[in-house]
Amino acid sequence: MTDSSLLNSELELQQQEELYQQMLLQTMGKLQTESPDSRLIRPQPGLCVKTFSEPGKQKVFINICQSTSVPPPPDLSREELVQLLQSEDPSGYRVPMSLGEPHAETDNNSQGCTAYDVVINQDFFQKSQKDPLFQQFVILVSVEGLENKYSLELNRDWKVLKNRKFLGSVSEQNIRTKSRPVIQELQPQETGPACVKRPECSLLVEPPTGHPEYLIAEIKLPGVVSGAFGPYGPN
Same domain (yes/no): 172, 184: no
Mean pLDDT to the nearest integer, 42-69: 94
- Residue 3 belongs to a domain: no
Residue 64 shares a structural domain with residue 85: yes
Q: How far is CA 95 from the centre of its chain?
A: 12
Residue 84 has pLDDT above 60, yes or no: yes
Please check whether residues 53 and 130 belong to one and the same domain: yes
Question: Is the domain of 169 the same as that of 83?
Answer: yes
Q: How far is CA 141 from CA 33, 99, 119, 220, in A?
A: 36, 11, 12, 46
pLDDT higher than 50, residue 229: no
pTM for the model: 0.60
Looking at the 3D structure of the chain, how many domains does it have? 2
Cα–Cα dist 186/175, whole Å: 31
- Domain span at residue 212? 12-36+179-232
Residue 61 falls within a domain, yes or no? Answer: yes
- pLDDT (mean) for 184-211: 52
With beta carbons less than 8 A apart as the criterion, state whether 76 and 84 touch: yes
Q: Is residue 6 part of a domain?
A: no
In angstroms, what CA-CA distances link 111 with 37, 105, 156, 196?
38, 8, 22, 78
Residues 49 and 72 in one domain: yes
Asked whether residue 5 is assigned to any structural domain, the reply reads no
Contacts of 173 (CB under 8 A, 6+ apart): 40, 41, 42, 43, 98, 100, 117, 119
Q: What is the pLDDT of residues 31-43, one digit of tens each?
A: 545 555 778 889 9
Q: Are residues 80 and 117 in the same domain?
A: yes
Q: Which residue has the higher pLDDT, 88 or 183?
A: 88
Query: Are residues 50 and 141 located together in one domain of the fold?
Result: yes
Q: Mean pLDDT over residues 46-65, rounded?
A: 94
Look at residue 174 and tell me whether its pLDDT is greater than 60. yes
**Is the same domain home to 97 and 154?**
yes
